[in-house]
Amino acid sequence: MADNSSRAGTTYAATEVIEYLHRTHTAHDAALQRAFDSPGHNDMPAIQVGTAEGKTLLLLLQMIGAKKVVEVGTLAGYSTIQMARGLPEDGHVWSVEFDAKHARVARENFAAAGLSSRITVLEGPGADVLPTLDAQGPFDAVFIDADKANYDIYGRWAAKNVRKGGLLLGDNAFFFGKLLEDSAPAAAMRRFHEEARAAFDTVCVPTPDGLLLGIKK
């Protein structure tokens, strides 16, 4: 009889298995836990990446020897801290955040983590802020986790500003299961996927809501 535990699209990991794996591979120190818990303590949406996704970002940046990274969508800075920890001492993350309150909370978390010198938070709409970073490039990686209706805009910027062999990472690539809907945001997300495929060698990793991973051609 076939072992159905590896059937595509099926998850068999029970809660206790996930908790064991978190304790084993992605346990938080105080600074990470503070950032992860911050949305709940500051009346912010708890939409940060999960613990496994956060550690994945760190490891991917280490694997390519990244030094210069751009993040679109800071929230409370959990993913930013993970990525900054994946960089060498002279590395830097530029993180773009639309909401001033979120930016303030994130900066407090960066200070608590001892990473303020390695992270710059730029406030404003991503489509307006990203072009101001052109002179800092080319970048080793761009991570997008922001307003879904503008993912195509952010992806185009990344295609122009990521070095060959650098990474494009896009969270919520499944668009909460609405990717194929007939709506403007869903159409923008599909353009993001299709245009990314043209500039990067891509795959959509089946995290809970999908993580697009691309290597610049």
Report whether 75 contacts 107 (CB < 8 A).
Answer: no
* Model confidence, pTM: 0.92
State residue 43's pLDDT score.
92
Q: pLDDT for 81-128, tens place per residue?
A: 999 999 999 999 999 999 999 999 999 999 999 999 999 999 999 999
Give the integer Cα–Cα distance in Å for 121 and 13.
37
pLDDT in tens, 134-179: 999 999 999 999 999 999 999 999 999 999 999 999 999 999 999 9
pLDDT tens-digit map of 43-78: 999 999 999 999 999 999 999 999 999 999 999 999
CB 28 within 8 A of CB 52: no
What are the backbone dihedrals phi and psi of residue 152, each rounded to the nearest 5 degrees, phi first? -65, -40
The reported pLDDT for the residue numbered 15 is 86
pLDDT score for 185: 96
What pLDDT was estimated at residue 34? 97
The reply to whether omega before 88 is within 30° of 0 (cis) is no
Which domains are delineated in the chain? 13-216 (3.40.50.150)
pLDDT for position 1:
33
